[in-house]
Structure 1
Amino acid sequence: MQRIGVAARAAAAELALTAPETKSRALLLAAQSVRDAGDAIQEANESDMQAGEAKGLTRALLDRLMLNDERIEAMAEGLEAVAALPDPVGRVLAQWDRPNGLKIARLAVPLGVIGIIYESRPNVTADAGGLCLKAGNAAILRGGSESFHSSTAIIQALRQGIAAAGLPEAAIQPMPSTDRALVGEMLRAAGVIDVIVPRGGRGLIERVMNESRVPVMAHLDGLCHVYVDGEADAKKARNIVFNSKMRRPGVCGAAETLLVDARAMAGMLPAILNDLITEGCEVRGDPAVCGLDPRVLPATEADWSTEYLDAIISVKIVNGVEGAIRHINGYGSHHTDSIVTENQETADRFLAGIDSAIVLHNASTQFADGGEFGMGAEIGISTGKLHARGPVGAEQLTSYKYVVRGTGQVRP
């Protein structure tokens, strides 16, 4: 950890002073390097997939792990999108003059060395490395054991690209093995790592929060909800619920609980249930929901606080928007929640009352993604309230400092 950390700090010091056009060129070269290494990345991914199948990973987790031509191209395009973003370093966040003539400015600066601990999804490797580089930070990446070979191949491609641009390869470094003890080393690396960003399941997040001596930017469970109001458009409701759950059930923005206004139960819910069940989604409902369709299984109390990351959804009838707000704020993880309604006043009440990082009106929860927000990519969705909240892109990977210019003033 000390060896990796020393190299990372030296790289971070260089990146903090690197011109925006040089960082952008490095990202473009990294994108091309990822494309050129596509066969090698897929070969490495096949090893991870075979190991995952032997280990008994669920269908959803295997989907998160799998890389193909389309997903590798998406990684490269994500790097190019990050390269095209305005440089976040050096932005003037605020400035003002004091009566004594001092000129004060608050400027965006890199965080320094960022340690990123993540599970399963190897594409996070490219997103994290690219965003850290854009914001002038060095990255130390510790992917999950399931994606070790895939992530290693991606990092190798990224490092080739940034080296071709004349930047230090140590700007992006992997932890050298899947040994869980290395996670502990990262969490104890105060003075070496400036910020830890964990991205994974509750077990990982709780360990990081409990053990870390380094400041943490947490990405907690994606316990996301869709609320279908009594004044929803039935077609919109069907499309939004189905997409929120079934587009990719294993991502953090997938809906895990559907709440339905009692006024919409008879008129809208049967078709929604049929859409889900017909496509292989297991539905667990409260007694009222079970009474609508014999294929619905009874929900337990635990279902309302479970992130399935699979083709499973819990469904509950609530009394209007106030019932939905109470349920979500009581059971949710403050990640992403959506309302479907044609009543603007009801929508505004929901958007104001839900204490989550992302709230949506008449849109799928699967838009909870930095790329969809125009950030190019993201490291994760921060569910905390300090420093950054919601998608963590390049701007969120900066801090700030005050620059004060005087003409000889001394304090009386």
Structure 2
Amino acid sequence: MGDQLSTELDHENHLLLDQPLLRLPFELLRKTLRSARFEIEKDGALITNTLKETATSSVNGRSSKEDVLKSLDTMIARMRGTKRKLIAFADEEDRLHQQEEARVQHLADLYAMYSVDDVKYEGWSRTRLDRLLVDYLLRQGYNDSARALAEERGIERLVDVETFEQMSRIRKSLLNGSVAEALAWCTAGETKKELRKMDSNLEFMLRYQQYIEIVRNRSQTKPNEALAHARRYLFPYRDAYPREVLQACGMLAIPPGTAPTIAAYADLYSPARWAMLAELFTTTHNTLLQLPSKPLLHVALSAGLSALKTPACHSTRPDSLAAPPSHATSLTLSTNVCPICSTELNELARGVPYANHSTSHVEPDLLMLPSSRAYGRARLDEYARKAGLLDGQVKDLRSGEIYGRDTLKKVYIT
């Protein structure tokens, strides 16, 4: 009965890690629908108003035949432009629907399995690992490697290469000192309204950085350009961001060369602001599309490490923290030391919580060494024999220190 429970698939727990798999295409479909509706309403209202004005002017005789024809040509061109936009939106919707269909089928394949011993489960798990690797590569900016891996494994519809490539492109433009692409993303279609609902400060911070660059290069810009920019994009937010607006006003009186000597303005011209904007954009982008802030590979790895971690894996003794087990020691004890205690995973697992074990398993006839580590008598004897120690001596399996048997203490489990 125990073996059956241990190999039974828990589908609901699997889906905890795969929620973004279905959520992102849904969010993108919703965003595409709203953007299409926005374009229809905007262009439809413009064409309707133009048509009314043209008809009224024609009836009243204020417009000539040539003016009416010119106005009609303008409206036709506008409608053709709207049609091209709607075709692009339709193509995007078709791509997203294909993604959803492939992802639903991928999860349906899991629900057709009931045990990890199923021969198909290994293939499904490999596909999920490939997805996690592609997600990690995309978040780290390795877009070409991610696309190549997705194409090689045939999982293009199970990963979101296009979305992360756009995010990576905008992030790089910010790190290179340009806010143009990020501002275009913020103000496109319904994104601006969504960001306002989120109470996001991304657009304001981008406009603020624009103002900083205008003031920094005041010798190359028109005298009133900085003031016009502040009046249009900064002053309307003086109640929400009073400190930034006051600093914007003060910057007009402070030359960029002397700003680093003034505490309130020292960081405004710092190159580190571009890295801050890149991180702010990434966080806002992920929040808007309901993407996890961390790579799913990290989440899965943390869960796996936590399932194996016990209090014995990380000693609180200062000497153990200062001198972790050597690689040679971990290789020697590969059959006795858990994966968390290995050199490769010990430090990586330090921040994850301990596993919740309902039962514990300890060696019989435990003996505690002066190092506060406890081992079974049989294991100590076997290790001492293999190490060629003298009679009455034992060796700590972790540190390699040698102790006399008279220093050992019997351990009783209560």
TM-score by length of 1: 0.25
Structure with a larger share of its residues in helix = 2
Q: Which has the higher contact order (CA 8 A, sep 6+)?
A: 1
TM-score by length of 2: 0.25
Rg bigger for which structure?
A: 2
Structure with a larger share of its residues in strand = 1
